[in-house]
Amino acid sequence: MASQDVSGGTGGCPLVVCLADEPAPNAGRTSAYHSYLVEILQHAGLFFSTVPPADLPSALPAASILVTCGETTPPNDVREAIREWVLGGGSWISIAGLWNLEDLFGVRPRPAVTQSSFAAGAVSMGEGYLEPVDKAHPVTAALNSPLHFFNGRAVEETGCRVLARALDAHRKGVTGPALTENGAGSGRCLLIAPDLTGTVVRIQQGVAITRDGVPAPDGSAPVSDGVLKSDDGLVLDWDFDRDEIPGVPGLRAFLRPVADLWRDLLVRAILDCAAASEVALPLVWFHPEGWEAVAHMSNDTDLSDPDCAEEMLNTLAEAGIRSTWCNILPPYPPGIIERMKQAGHEAAMHYDAISEGRGWSREEFLRQHSDISRALDEAPVSNKNHYLRWEGDTEFFEWLAAAGVTLDQSKGASKTGVAGFNFGTCHLYFPVAPDGRLLDVLELTTPTQDLVVFAPEELVDALIPRVREVYGVLHLLFHPAHIKKPPVRQALLSAVRKAREAGMEWFTAAEISRWERARRQVRWSGYAREVDGISVQVAAGAPLERAALMWLAPSGGEALLDGEPCASFVTERWGRRFAGCIVDLEPGRPVRFQLRG
């Protein structure tokens, strides 16, 4: 798994990231998975430099923005270096930590209810919801409802501006500030009090699955069905995190991508600090051509009926898209598989751990991967589990990686009432093991199954705008086994049309995985302030066609490549103006990306 090269050059990197040291064992923690901050910012495509706390005194003078994650008490020299830098004009965004510099944030730690020192640590926020107070502020502008969180640094205000407050887990009582802003000298401090990284991980991955989950109280999601599956591990709330599907009275779905909105809040905070300081930040956009969002269709081949496969192939040809076929054992006849591949569709895997004689184990998974590879005459690089089966925590991701599978789709909705952004995201992400290791398999969640059969057609009308708002991937699943039902076929064609009308192009899972992995291998270096603008060197670790390189351009300007005009454009992302270029990046051929004017 590639990690971004964030070495600075002339002028240094304006965005510095620092992770707090882990607390001692048995000490209370206000945050988890600090290192996942790097994963979040890498996926956002931003240019940043990661430094340990001890190196902050030497790194900060060249920086404009500091993002820290976690709580710690730094040595005096580090603490005073941060203070001097902020008072001199730096912008500090802290996640779930005060670093013994609470005066800069205009808050104080909330005192504990007991003075006992047993297993002591900073006071946690527990579980709750972030509710915007200032909905016009650029950082909170995308939040239309309270945002679920888990853990965080509990504080009390002493002079800060409160942008959002914390509600308890029942969304009733106010427990304190959740997002604050404070001026300090010539600088500025933003505190994101909830545990943003731990919250994103917990929502995206859910909890370890050893037994049935708790069903929805309205009867729409009976997940307690005696079969262990991914949505048994959901942590979002049936009442507070679902909304009624417009046009379908009484039926609720997860229509807010909560984890993505947390990522969005962080990026907006960084961009707000950069814009206020008139600092240009470069990034490589999520999708080819600068598309705001893209779409993907998977087709699970349950029953392997050749007639249904033919009908699905004809329907996809009419729709004009290529899809990912998750092939189950026993497979289709060779003629169907050949036609599938000739039409440009991806031949993927559908691991079956529910049918008689097929259990949940690493050995069984690898056996099925070997058998389906022979049937397809190629090793599949994408997978979705039949019935979205899942057991344990992250062990299955390690099985996938061992087989060479690069993308999975097994986190998703097995029941109608679980439909939507059930794991809080429509973005690709690398999961993290309990010990903090990133696992080399991308996850693309499955928000729904066959429209008409599994969920009403109106659901896609609710999903498309939310996917666009967070710049994600619309994933729709249609089984060939249902395609002969005329309403299902029409729903598929209609969904493809609606996504295209919304500006989304369709890609296979293999294409999405290759793009994301190549995008992660972009290397930034040599950020330089020049007489007539800013420049940075961009190098590719793998071919990346039609990449959109963008500058946050708070003061305007034109994007250039190697000093020459390019296929430039101006667009708005996260409520900010960006100037960009579309470019084909190739390994060994770095380019100079500039913002002039």
What is the 8-class DSSP label of residue 60? G
Q: Which of 194, 222, 242 is the last residue of a domain?
A: 194
Collect the ranges in the chain with pLDDT lower than 50: 1-11, 119
Same domain, 499 and 528: no
Examine residue 1 and state whether it is found in any structural domain, yes or no.
no
User: How far is it, in rounded angstroms, from Cα 362 to Cα 368?
Assistant: 10
Distance CA 236, CA 422 (A): 7
User: What distance lies between CA 293 and its chain's CA centroid?
Assistant: 13
Task: Find how far residue 6's CA is from the centre of its chain.
Answer: 20
| Residues 161 and 105 occupy one common structural domain | yes
- Tell whether 7 is covered by a domain: no
Return the DSSP state at 328: P
Number of domains in the chain: 3
Residues 453 and 580 in one domain: no
Task: For residues 52 and 542, give the distance between their C-alpha atoms in angstroms, rounded to a whole number.
Answer: 29
- Provide the pLDDT for residue 283: 98
Q: What span, in angstroms and rounded, lies between the C-alpha atoms of 559 and 334?
A: 50
CATH of the domain at 397: 3.20.20.370
The tokens describing 480, both together, are 């060939």
Residue 434 within any structural domain of the chain: yes
Is residue 305 one of the residues assigned to a domain?
Answer: yes
Q: Are 511 and 537 in the same domain?
A: no
Q: Is 435 among the domain residues? A: yes
- The H-assigned helical ranges of 88-234 are 102-105, 196-205
Q: Which of 161, 194, 227 is at the close of a domain?
A: 194
What's the CA gap between 311 and 304, in Å, rounded?
Answer: 12
Is residue 118 domain-shared with residue 162, that is, in the same domain? yes
Residue 251 forms part of a structural domain: no
d(CA 585, CA 307): 43
Last residue of a domain, one of 147, 166, 194: 194
Within a domain: 210: no
Domain of residue 564: give its range: 523-596
**Minimal CA–CA distance to 37: which of 198, 203, 260, 271?**
198
Query: Residues 352, 374: one domain?
Result: yes
Tell me: do 352 and 484 sit in the same domain: yes
Could you tell me if 547 and 563 lie in one domain? yes
Q: What's the Cα-to-Cα distance from 486 to each of 137, 380, 451, 479, 489, rounded to whole Å?
A: 47, 31, 12, 13, 5
Residue 463 belongs to a domain:
yes
- Predicted TM-score (pTM) of the model is 0.97
Would you say 68 and 30 are in contact if contact means Cβ atoms under 8 Å apart?
A: no
Same domain, residue pair 591 and 491:
no
Region of 282 on the Ramachandran plot (φ > 0 left; ψ -120 to 50 alpha; else beta): beta
Inter-residue contact 163 to 93 (CB < 8 Å) = no
What is residue 27's predicted lDDT score, i.e. its pLDDT? 79
Question: What does the alpha-carbon distance between residue 390 and residue 410 come to, in Å, rounded to a whole number?
Answer: 8
**pLDDT score, position 309:** 98
What are the distances in angstroms from CA 77 to CA 25, 71, 80, 84, 467?
25, 17, 5, 10, 45
Q: What is the pLDDT of residue 7?
A: 37
* φ and ψ of 563, to 5 deg: 80, 0
Number of H helices, E strands in the chain: 13, 29
Residues 320 and 367 in one domain: yes
Q: Which of 309, 322, 441 is nearest to 383 (CA)?
A: 441
Same domain (yes/no): 296, 439: yes
Cis peptide before 330 (omega within 30 of 0): yes
Same domain? For 72 and 123 the reply is: yes
